[in-house]
Amino acid sequence: MKFLNQIICFIVGALFIFSGAVKAIDPIGTAIKLGEYFEVFATDVPSLHGFFHFLNQNATILAVIFVVSEIVLGTALLIGFKRKITVWLLFLMITFFTFLTFYSAYFNKVTDCGCFGDFLPLTPWESFTKDVVLFVLITILLVQVKKLTNKSNFLTFVVLSSITLLSGFLTYYAIEYEAPIDFRAYAVGKNISEQMKSKEPARYIYVMEKDGQEFRMEEYPTDPAYKYVSNELLNEAESKPKITDYSLWNDEGDFTQESLTEKRIFILVQNVAKGNFDKFEEIKKLINETTAKNANIKVAILTSDTQEAISSFKTSQNINFPFYYIDATVIKTIARSNPALWMLNEGTVIGKYSPNETPESQEVLRLFE
């Protein structure tokens, strides 16, 4: 039993560390996902609307707490630091996660729990299954907690403290300077146009009925004697584009395809009221210097805010760039910062910056070469 407990401790600890680490490089993504849950609960439980609204407003703080806790508790379990309290805290956390993923799967409310960030998207039922397995494993540890080896000493304390500081710094860096590793479809190096296309045509297996018997067929029969029952998509991953919701427009029409041509710098403004524009003068300086040296680079604002808000923003910042609307979820997927700079060269992402890391014009010009 001791050997089994050690194996379970390794599996649970490693999974929690992995789960926390892939979310630590993008805590804003986790905050967005938590916000989706809070919005659902605020609607489904009207009596607690104010409470869930408060949680939604503080989703970023909660995301950091959850992410760091996953890494720290997973590490504590692996090195044997205060395993009794560690196992209890893991049990409470996995109980909470299991409830969330069950609610998401059963009621089809949130289609991706974000358990492993953008690195490994899971369906609601896959997420729930993963949490059930972890719940069972942690319950076994809880029953055997008195028999678990405890290594609470100065060395394990130093290791755990170091891990706490390191994970906390990583989440801080990701919030201030964008994700250091970007698994999203709009990451640097990705071509938007290519990802809006399918790798191959969809292939189906058709279930047809004739004379009381069912037949599975790769091609839809032309014989009217066959009656359609159902179909099964065989190559969903290959036939479904990675990007399906990228669209730009304004009052003059659709500019989606046009945005993927030539050299472009986009200023992303998710929400004017919630944006951090303390360093926007640096962005304006960069754009002025860059476009003065290369007139072929076109600049525009992408926003999910209202026309009134953007018009007021342009007036206050003394800028006159054209602006296009973009879906609120898409703009948050492209960049977590508000505002942010996003640079495309004929549809390929060549740069993404938060206001805290506005580059020099020479660097930007080199990107467009």
Q: Give the pLDDT confidence score for residue 62 in this predicted structure.
A: 94
Q: Which pLDDT belongs to residue 114?
A: 58
Q: How far apart are the first and last CA of the chain?
A: 63
- pLDDT at position 117 is 60
What is the value of pTM for the model shown? 0.83
Contact predicate 181/118, CB 8 Å: no
User: What is the pLDDT, as a whole number, of residue 115?
Assistant: 62
pLDDT lower than 70: segments of the chain: 1, 111-117
For residue 121, the model assigns a pLDDT of: 77
Cα angle value 301/306/312 (rounded, 5°): 70
User: What's the pLDDT score for residue 86?
Assistant: 95
Q: What is the pLDDT of residue 111?
A: 67
The answer to whether residues 116 and 18 touch, using CB atoms and an 8 Å cutoff, is yes
What are the distances in angstroms from CA 268 to CA 2, 95, 301, 337, 339? 54, 38, 6, 8, 5
pLDDT at res. 120:
75
Secondary structure class of 265 (helix, strand, coil): strand
Query: Which backbone phi and psi does 205 adopt, to 5 degrees?
Result: -110, 120
Nearest to 38 by CA among 30, 49, 28: 49
